[in-house]
Structure 1
Amino acid sequence: MTLTATRPETQVAANAQAASGSSFAAGMRVLPKPEREAMYAIYAFCRIVDDIADEQRLPIAEQRVALDAWRGHVRALYDGGDPGPAAMLAGPVARYGLAEADFQAVIDGMRMDLEGLRGPSMATLDLYCDRVASAVGRLSVKIFGMEDAAGQELAHHLGRALQLTNILRDVDEDAEMGRLYLPEELLAEAGVTARDPLAAVADPRVDATCRALAQLAETHYARAGDVLAGRPPGRLAAPRLMTAAYAGVLRNLLRRGWVPPRPRVRVNKAALLWMLVREGLFG
């Protein structure tokens, strides 16, 4: 993987197209054009650094260099230097007052992925979720025009809920990449002794670990729902849709369970469209 100088609008358009079939796209489609384009810029940034961390064909040393290069691009954007490919973020940063610390936190989270997580402590898992998901939420709620207190609380809880759902959905795919995000405390409580990712997720007792982690995700969904139910100022359609969609995925995972073998659970696109209609989220 190489980092090339791509025109900002070209990069954003490419990643908007890549997102077009995802639940993310459905959530963003309900936003007015300026906010939607800003969110696609955030998506583009996240996709790029995530791809760097996931590119297993490269030596880890080269992946570190690539992530550090993006750290420098973001720093230059805020310092008034040449931001290189991070120029795609210049408009959203200026318009919505996005914080550099949140972009850097995402890179920190990708670095955690790169270095490998195998049965992290609950505290480390929470830090990881904050960096790769809640930090993105903190950027997003500014674009949604939310007030600081409500926006920060929503980003905290919804980011963690979504990321924990992703972890619970992707246990097999992550294990194949040598990653085990399930926390040490819950693995030990369930009697799962292996910390090799493939061996751990092959243990039928991992079902108890995943169900315990799902309870934590449900708590975060409930807290995010409380924020949204209060109808704070801002464009809430997108986070409402993402909450409904991913909480539905979690319910399907709980019905299926995690005893191997595990069929894949996906977001139901037809159900997403129905949510859009039911919630009056078009337009």
Structure 2
Amino acid sequence: MTLETAAGNADYGATASGSSFYAAMRILPHEQREAMFQIYSFCRQVDDIADSDGPRPERLAALQQWRDDIDALYQGHPPARLRDYVASVRRFDLKREDFLAIVDGMEMDVPQDIRAPDLATLDLYCDRVASAVGRLSVRVFGLAEDDGILLAHHLGRALQLTNILRDIDEDAGIGRLYLPLEGLLHAGITSTDPHKVISEPALPKVCMPLVARARAHFEKADEIMRRNPRRAVRAPRIMSKYYRAILELLVARGFAAPRAPVRLNKLARLFIILRYAFI
């Protein structure tokens, strides 16, 4: 569930300084950078609640408290933990419904762990935990309304699907499975037990359609970024290139067990930053 968007798996729990998010945001002017790190902090805090091992009723109550705090922020009575957000919300016209959508997305894992959602539920999940973050972000970046919403839609889903494909084994380790039910059944896999699914020989047949879907979203996102001012899309372009590279590394490695972890090395990350940070 992440800005790098992401348990599906979220990168909110990673240290910001070690993430592509941090690298992409460092190039922004001060006010934009501060707003983005506030958005990041919000996502990380609600994600930490959803991914904790605390009792489920307590996690649901903690997420509801975040909803109440967001409402208070927009009613002009921000709680202490959101007081610094007031200026950014006003300056960039950040929308209450996008913050609330993120909480709703995190909550989808709380009543019970997600296991083999249908495609419609998977898309809703991606919208809430990734594209909603994108909708906040594009306002900070300064994109026009229509193209900003489109970019958030496509790039958010591209990044989230890449995260899901990257973190299949990690998610199974905590009892979650984000691969769609339709894909499992089409591949002849009838179990939705994460530990059984990840060892299925037919797993690549489930993953490759998601690769195709992610690639299509990356392509749509690229089209949108090409027709917008370069300064406004520098940060999302860095994240897009970073995650597209991760996706292609996953394809090159394959999805059959055993699966070695995939990471973009430091040289490749540096190349992306230098290539796209100053154009």
TM-score in terms of structure 1 length: 0.90
Give 1:81 shift.
2.1
- Distance in 2 between residues matched to 1:190 and 1:232, nearest whole Å: 43
Give 1:194 shift.
1.1
Question: Match of 1:263?
Answer: 260
Q: Identity of aligned pairs, percent?
A: 50
CA contact (8 A) 2:27 2:235 kept: yes
Question: Match of 1:4?
Answer: none
RMSD of equivalent CA atoms? 1.7
Contiguous gaps of at least 5 residues in structure 1: 1-14
Give 1:83 shift.
2.2
Give 1:234 shift.
5.5
Give 1:202 shift.
1.4
The letter for the 2-side match of 1:191 is G
- Distance in 1 between residues matched to 2:181 and 2:162, nearest whole Å: 18
Question: Match of 1:129?
Answer: 126
Question: Match of 1:74?
Answer: 70
Question: Match of 1:5?
Answer: none
CA contact (8 A) 1:117 1:180 kept: yes
Confirm whether residue 152 of structure 1 aligns to residue 149 of structure 2: yes
The verdict on how the C-alpha distance between 1:70 and 1:266 changes in structure 2, with shifts beyond 3 A counting, is same
The letter for the 2-side match of 1:158 is L
TM-score in terms of structure 2 length: 0.92
- Partner-residue secondary structure (3-state), 1:181: coil
The verdict on how the C-alpha distance between 1:82 and 1:152 changes in structure 2, with shifts beyond 3 A counting, is closer
- Distance in 2 between residues matched to 1:91 and 1:204, nearest whole Å: 52
Matches within 5 A, 1:42-53: 42-53=39-50
CA contact (8 A) 2:49 2:63 kept: yes
Question: Match of 1:180?
Answer: 177
1:119 aligned to which of 105, 116, 119: 116
- Partner-residue secondary structure (3-state), 1:202: coil
Q: How many residues align?
A: 267
Report the more deviating stretch, 133-142 or 205-214: 205-214
1:96 aligned to which of 92, 95, 108: 92
Confirm whether residue 84 of structure 1 aligns to residue 80 of structure 2: yes
- Distance in 2 between residues matched to 1:97 and 1:269, nearest whole Å: 35
Contiguous gaps of at least 5 residues in structure 2: 1-11
Runs of 4+ in 1 over 3 A off after TM superposition: none
CA contact (8 A) 2:143 2:228 kept: no
- Distance in 1 between residues matched to 2:262 and 2:187, nearest whole Å: 23
- Distance in 1 between residues matched to 2:86 and 2:230, nearest whole Å: 25
Matches within 5 A, 1:1-283: 18-56=15-53, 58-115=54-111, 116-232=113-229, 235-279=232-276, 281-282=277-278
CA contact (8 A) 1:23 1:267 kept: no
